[in-house]
Structure 1
Amino acid sequence: MPIIPEGLVRSLQKGEKYVVSENPIIIVEKVEDIPDLVNPVFMEGLPGIGYVGYTTTSYIVKSLNPNEFLKLYMSILPAQVNIRKNGLAELISYTFYYYKGKNRDFVFMLGDAQPANPQDQYLATLLILEILKELGVKEIITVGGYGKGAQPEKPKVYGAATDLEFAEIFSKYGVIFSNTEPEGGIIGITGLLIGLGKLMGFRGVCLMGETSGMFRDPKAAREIIKILSEHYTLDIDMSNLENMIKEFEKFLSVVSEISSAEEKKMRPEKKFSEEFRYIR
């Protein structure tokens, strides 16, 4: 039985809200009518390690300026509002966009948070997949960070795919598909969209940018955007991202200097006898 009634998304009038369920509370809001989409690809961006997933997809969304068409509110997300521009409050949500590409179309989703427990993560994932199914999506791209502890100079991109053919396609762009990495697998909705999606007939890949995991990492996001823009022939202006990376590198340099100074303070002072082994 579908979580949302069949055909709900397209049948809603613009701006109409529909309470799908009361336990948990799920509200679907249609912001704009959706045209027929041609072989659409889905890409998501959610908070996670190094904010790589959210940074990647939000940058693509800002660059392509797609149409916002749907907002999803769920009581399984944190009970809070975010403070936006000019002090405006906005309920935490998942926002969907569509973009009409040259050869095929795209559906993007940006989310403010993830549910805290596995059961709610499954529920949110199934709801997203039901929406994608209605829109005719068959291909899913999820994005995240792979925390390695140290900050890499040139981040590698690791992948996990639903099938070998899809893995081979992205291997051509330098994506590493390993039996052992990432260690511990892919947690949260980013992983479930691939796992549950496979069971529901979707094809997918998760792309993970190598990062320290300690800071929001635009360098890891850049490597993934390069791959996606080349594979899907997306015209994405990277200049703003390059500026973000310059600021990020300045920040890392300051952090490194502070860390070195603190480390120096922690070193034990040499004893008098060690510094002066003989008298001149």
Structure 2
Amino acid sequence: MKVELEKKPQNVIIVEGFPGFGLVGTVASEYLIEHLKAEYIGHLWFDELPATIAVHAGKIIRPIEIHYAKKYNMVIVHSIASGQGMEWKISTLLNELAKTLKAKEIFSLEGVGSQEATEKPKVYFYSTDEKRGKMLTTAGVKSLDEGIVMGVTSAVLLKSPLPTTALFAETHTALPDSKAAAEIIKVLDKLFNLGIDIKPLIAMAAQFEEKVKGLIQQSEAAVDGAQRKKLSYVG
């Protein structure tokens, strides 16, 4: 279980996105990487990760990658691997990454279930940092006062020693939800002046969602295949 880094920028802000409801974290972090032109600087690795990769535009995509947007001193952790059953190990590795890079704070991007579809999904936040919470409230983001948080986000909130903020976008589907991801990016743009135009994300929603959905399906199929192969050895 380790963090492998090619570069070690310091005093960064970490933004992480893992597959969750609506794949909001994965879609949003992918879009950030592409539009901030963040460079690959490393990855997280441990034995329980599925032994699989994805190939996109002729490049290998590892299960959990680390990218760096130098202009904003922002590290983006992007995952195509489900964190189910590995949440505590992932949070431990994220804490190790944060310590190595002397990170100032962590943002976790997540989807939260909604009963019906809306053109403009609402975004909520929960922050362990009072100052950041006030900034988000001023920016018009509502605090999540009641609810159940599961997965990697909950582990990060519980174990991170740093100021940690989770952003939750409403989504009504288990399929990739680009509109929900776009609303989270809007919030990040307000906080950090990223200059990201979300119109392409919304306009290209179908294409973008199919891409991410395909990566997730490839990862899950590889795990299923490995399990079947293991059973065939036993049989």
**1:28-72: per-residue Cα shift (whole Å, max 9, x none)?**
443x333x43x3111011111001111111101100111211122
SS in 2 for 1:150: coil
1:116 matches 2:87: no
Corresponding residue number in structure 2 for 1:177 = 143
1:47/1:113 contact within 8 Å kept: yes
The gaps in structure 1 that reach 5 residues or longer are 1-25, 249-280
1:190 maps to 2:153 = yes
CA distance in 1, matches of 2:100, 2:119: 42
Q: Secondary structure in 2 aligned to 1:69? A: strand
- Go from structure 1 to structure 2 and tell me whether the alpha carbon gap of 1:139 and 1:213 turns closer, same or farther (over 3 Å shift): same
C-alpha RMSD over aligned residues: 2.3
Shift of 1:141: 0.6
Superposed displacement of residue 89, structure 1: 6.9
Structure 1 residues 244 and 80 mapped into 2: Cα distance closer, same or farther (>3 Å)?
same
Equivalent positions of 1:95-106 (< 5 A) are: 95-101=65-71, 105-106=73-74
2:186 corresponds to 1:226: yes
SS of residue in 1 equivalent to 2:78: strand
TM normalised by structure 2 equals 0.79
What does 1:128-277 correspond to in 2, within 5 Å? 128-180=94-146, 183-184=147-148, 186-197=149-160, 200=161, 202-245=162-205
**Is the Cα–Cα contact under 8 Å of residues 38 and 69 in structure 2 kept in the other structure?**
yes
TM-score when normalising by structure 1: 0.68
SS state at 2:68 partner: strand
CA distance in 1, matches of 2:109, 2:3: 24
Instruction: Among all aligned residue pairs of Structure 1 and Structure 2, give the percentage whose two residues are the same amino acid.
Output: 28
4+ residue stretches of structure 1 with deviation over 3 A?
27-30, 85-90, 245-248
What's the secondary structure of 2:143's corresponding residue?
A: coil
Contact preservation (8 Å) 2:128, 2:163: yes
Match of 1:51 in 2: 23
SS in structure 2 opposite 1:84?
Answer: strand
Shift of 1:115: 3.5
What's 1:9 paired with?
none
Q: How many residues align?
A: 208
CA deviations on 1:236-263 (whole Å, 9 max, x unpaired) are 2334213124779xxxxxxxxxxxxxxx
Q: SS in structure 1 opposite 2:204?
A: helix
Match of 2:233 in 1: none
Question: CA 1:151–1:45 in 2, change beyond 3 Å: closer, same or farther?
Answer: same
Structure 1 residue 210: deviation in Å? 0.7
Alpha-carbon spacing, 1:84–1:193, altered in 2? closer, same or farther (3 Å) = same
Greater radius of gyration (CA): 1
Among candidates 23, 28, 33, match of residue 7 of structure 2: 33
Shift of 1:83: 3.8
Does residue 1:127 correspond to 2:96, yes or no?
no
Bigger relative contact order (CA 8 A; separation at least 6): 2
Unaligned runs of 5+ in 2: 209-235
Distance 1:247 1:83, change over 3 A: closer
Question: Which whole-Å CA distance do the structure 2 matches of 1:223 and 1:29 have between them?
Answer: 31
- Corresponding residue for 1:258? none
After superposition, the Cα gap between the structure-2 partners of 1:163 and 1:88, relative to the gap in structure 1 and judged at 3 Å, is closer
Which string of whole-angstrom CA distances, capped at 9 and with x for unpartnered residues, describes residues 78-127 of structure 1? x341342378876x5311112222xx51111011223332xx32122112
Structure with greater helix percent:
2
